[in-house]
Chains A and B, each alone.
Chain A
Amino acid sequence: MTLSLQELAGRFSQLCPPAQAQEVDYAARGFHLDALVQPGQVVAAAELLDQCGFALDTITGMDWLEAGEMEVVYDYFHPQAATRAAVRARLPRREPEIPTIGAVFPGANWHERETHDFFGIRFLGHPDLTPLLLPEDADFHPLRKDFAP
């Protein structure tokens, strides 16, 4: 199933509650579609992109210290159609929790583990959130903006 960008953006607005997805200037930003979803919708968004034939590019976090929020960014690319999509979700910084998308994209397992290492974002339903890149006894999250070594 291959959809145009407008159709794909339309699919995001059909999620419940409707998610915002907009086309962005690829030349300036480096991706085509930017979607902001509720944390509970990331699995539905992953299923939607999976059905459209997207591949998982990467998952990462962002710490917005001043806003008191964390952001999880899911990057997708399409192996045939040269389309890139970014799906974002914002979480409260005090309780950063979001469902895992590992059941849809098994490659998410490591990316989520890494994001947990660096930001302390907990992926609910993830089979193993032990440190992937940090030392096995690491109890710190170095990419948090208030982290001090």
Chain B
Amino acid sequence: MSANAYIAADSGTGETFVLNLGPQHPATHGVLRVKLTMDGEYIRRAEPVCGYIHRMHEKMGENRTWAQFLPNTSRIDYLSAMAYTQAYVARVERAARLAVPPRAEYIRVITCELNRISSHLVWFGAFLLDLGGFTPLLYAFDDREKILDLLEAITGSRLTYCYYRFGGLCNDVDKDFIEGSRAFVAHMRPRLELYRKLVTDNIILRKRLEGIGPISAQMCRRYGATGPVIRGSGVAYDVRKVEPYSAYPEFDFDIPVFKEGDCMARYLVRMEEIRQSLRIVEQALDRLPEGPVMAEKVPRTLKIPPGDYCFAVEAARGRFAVRLVSDGTDTPYRVKLRTPSFSNLSLFEEASRDMMLPDALALMGSLDLVIPDIDR
């Protein structure tokens, strides 16, 4: 399409130029490049250019055993690694008919939800940084550090967790982790109140986000956008509720939904989700069953019956799904990774058309992109 076709009647000069945003522009996230066709301050076309950190995880899946691929799954979305390893181990466990002990499922829920909170805190800090507010990042990273310390003590990693095993967990949690998690829940609730006073109720933030970057429920559906993006457009779609897995059905939590579809709605969804995750962690700690954290007889070399198998989880950015194809050997025939950032970004070209550049940056930040999650 010619550049002229994009020009709206009421704005701009009709003369366009190309502006490169990224791949290392400090205002963008990671190594994403967006080729912008600009008419003054207005975007006529935004074309994301992906693949700068493509690592071909799906090919790696075909040349190593089921167990050897496990560490790869924590390196796709490095901020939400627990949920990704959860999807992979849960799919293999179901196909190989391994029963996971209840204590292990509870600890998976606790660690996944703590990971979700830490991921949302990074988004919170980075998003406000995008909008020009530096201070909230320091608050958010201070709180996130507490989660990273807790998870590091039991998993050995600060981000790329490889804590789950086929049939359970690598090791049990200790008293320090349980007490530390309780202390974190108690610490975080008043902090959320502080965030509300400091940031959410701030008139400058509201003016930057309200009514900006509207995304309709229809657009989410046609692009497969999920997570806080679809829930900010009025659809209560959460994999933890619609396709329940692990121990989630045993906990009482709400799915925050805001119907406005603008950047503020997506912001509010994530802030409310932190509160809901705290609720889940608290309930799981209260009711944590005793017992083993590993299934009894897990074969050293797993063989999966031939066929194809799917499984999805609710990661911090939305629906993460795996499609595993087995030919009956100890190595996957095909590993397909369906990542939420990929689908969420794919609507950016349509959603950003005719927006002003600073507003489009707010829109991009509100999508909460993790670039290795797109590029895989």
Contact between A133 and B376, CB atoms less than 8 A apart: yes
A131 and B321: CB pair below 8 A? no
| B345 CB to nearest chain A CB (Å) | 8
- A55 touching B220, Cβ below 8 Å: yes
Q: Give chain B nearest CB distance to A105 CB in angstroms.
A: 5
Out of B220, B309, B376, name the residue touching A29 (CB < 8 Å). B309
Interchain residue pairs A-B with the least CB separation, the first 8: A30-B310, A107-B223, A82-B242, A58-B338, A133-B51, A55-B221, A133-B54, A56-B224
Contact across chains for B58 and A84 when beta carbons are under 8 A apart? no
Question: Is the C-beta of A132 less than 8 angstroms from some C-beta in chain B?
Answer: yes
CB distance from A65 to the nearest CB of B (A): 10
Partner of B51, one of A29, A82, A106, A135: A135
A99 lies within 8 A of chain B by Cβ: no
Q: Is B353 an interface residue (CB 8 A)?
A: no
Report A-chain residues with C-beta under 8 Å of the C-beta of B376: 133
Which residues does chain A contribute within 8 Å of B355, judged by CB atoms?
Answer: none
Within 8 Å CB of A82, what residues of B? 242-243
A138's nearest neighbour on chain B, judged by CB, is: B51
In the assembled complex, 16 residue pairs joining A and B whose CB atoms fall closer than 8 Å, in A order, are: A28-B95, A29-B307, A30-B311, A50-B222, A55-B220, A57-B224, A58-B338, A58-B343, A60-B336, A62-B325, A77-B312, A84-B310, A107-B225, A118-B58, A132-B50, A143-B58
Interface of B is mostly: mixed
Task: Report the minimum CB–CB distance from A87 to chain B (whole Å).
Answer: 13
**Interface positions of A from 27 to 47, Cβ below 8 Å from B:** 27-31
Query: In the bound complex, do residue B91 and residue A30 qualify as a contact, i.e. CB atoms below 8 Å apart?
Result: yes
Q: Report if B235 contacts A (CB, 8 A).
A: yes
In the complex, the answer to whether A105 meets B222 with C-beta atoms within 8 Å is yes
Bin chain B's interface residue count: 35 or more
Category for how many chain A residues contact B: 35 or more
Which residue of chain B has the shortest Cβ distance to A104 in the bound complex? B222
B323/A110 in contact, CB under 8 A? no
Provided the pairs A56-B222, A107-B347, A143-B59 are in contact, do residues A75 and B310 lie with their beta carbons within 8 angstroms? yes
Further contacts, 18 of them, CB under 8 A, given A29-B310, A79-B220, A106-B222: A28-B309, A30-B312, A55-B222, A55-B224, A57-B319, A60-B336, A73-B323, A77-B224, A79-B221, A80-B235, A105-B224, A106-B350, A107-B343, A109-B346, A134-B51, A135-B51, A142-B59, A143-B62
Contact call A133/B375, Cβ cutoff below 8 A: yes
Q: Are B224 and A107 in contact (CB under 8 A)?
A: yes
Contact A79 to B323, CB < 8 A, known contacts A29-B308, A107-B223, A132-B50? no
Determine if A96 is an interface residue (Cβ-Cβ < 8 Å). Answer: no
Question: Which B residue sits closest to A30, measured CB to CB?
Answer: B310
Which A residues touch B94, using CB under 8 A? 27-28, 30
A136 to B, closest residue via Cβ:
B51
Interface string of A64-88 (1 = CB under 8 A from B): 0000000001010101101010100
The docked-state distance in angstroms from the alpha carbon of A39 to that of B226 is 28
Closest to B221 in A: A55
